[in-house]
Structure 1
């Protein structure tokens, strides 16, 4: 008597190569929505992950600046405007760079109470429309406006308006461009993964 292997349902998701440590074999994040990966999206995600990992050190620097600021203020009775501004600079840079990292890790805010009830294809359709009509146009519009804004600040060599504040304000403002550029790339990566699931274009890796 021959043994037969039960056929898998066509609607069943493919076996995932993800491990239990939150990352796949390439070191990229494994999120519970299990969108297939593609070669272009992997290339984009690797860039965002490297930038995000490097930028994560800014939170350690922020702690050092906060401790130094508090010590100078309460132990020596001196107020340092540039330290207070540096504290805000580090927080702003870490936050805006971290947004693309959160998208790549799928840790941004969602209405999970609804999404968890949907099928993989339904979630992919919702994410596709949200990316095409919300995320990409919004981040693109910010980039279009931010580039001349930063250029003007650089040309004027803009500095803090507060006495004793930091010079070269354009450095901080330039992170609007870097941050939303990374967000735009993260959106393109998610879009490619959605189309890979829905239309098999580009070709999914699994």
Structure 2
């Protein structure tokens, strides 16, 4: 079991490390979009797509970079008491609190999957059966959801990115849970 835990931690950390390192360059994408917006507003005709595209890029940057942030321990914490605790006490507290985060992420993931199904034109209450029906050919895509802005982009791509990011965050939280268990057992990670 311990070997499985070490392998899971190694694989998930490696995936989230690579995704996070790529996602961190998203800030330059956001800056480029906003620069185009500023130049166009100042010298040319203002563009319709730049502000909303910058928002989409920011969502992708934040959601895909979150697991990397958790992995590095650079997420926001209340260090008033936590910073002075021993590694063992931190592991116990983290072990208890990570279950709340995992529950929250599971609810968030279900909501993201439901919202993505809705953006594909599914009006029912079973989003998982909708996606399995898309794969098997028993369901078909309906009227796709679009933004209400003047640009009117489809919303499913950013919602799909949110599913990926939330799923990676869930995997990283389970990795952190396993790290805490191994710390409490006195093993090296």
Q: Give TM-score, length-normalised by structure 1.
A: 0.75
Correspondence for 2:148:
161
1:152 has 2:92 as partner: no
C-alpha distance in 2, partners of 1:107/1:56?
14
Correspondence for 1:31:
none
C-alpha distance in 1, partners of 2:71/2:87?
18
C-alpha distance in 2, partners of 1:75/1:124?
56
The 5 A counterparts of 1:7-26 are: none
C-alpha distance in 2, partners of 1:64/1:184?
30
Correspondence for 2:26:
58
**For 2:103, which of 122, 137, 147 is the aligned residue?**
137
The structure that is helix-richer by fraction is 2
Correspondence for 2:139:
none
1:114 has 2:114 as partner: no
Equivalent residues of 1:86, 1:166 under 8 A apart: no
Mark the structure with the bigger radius of gyration. Answer: 1
Correspondence for 2:50:
83
Gaps of 5+ in 2: 122-142
Deviation of 1:175 after TM superposition, in Å, equals: 2.1
Deviation of 1:38 after TM superposition, in Å, equals: 2.7
Q: Give TM-score, length-normalised by structure 2.
A: 0.81
- Figure out how many residues of one structure are paired with residues of the other and give that number: 164
Q: CA RMSD in A?
A: 1.6
Gaps of 5+ in 1: 1-36
Equivalent residues of 2:109, 2:166 under 8 A apart: yes
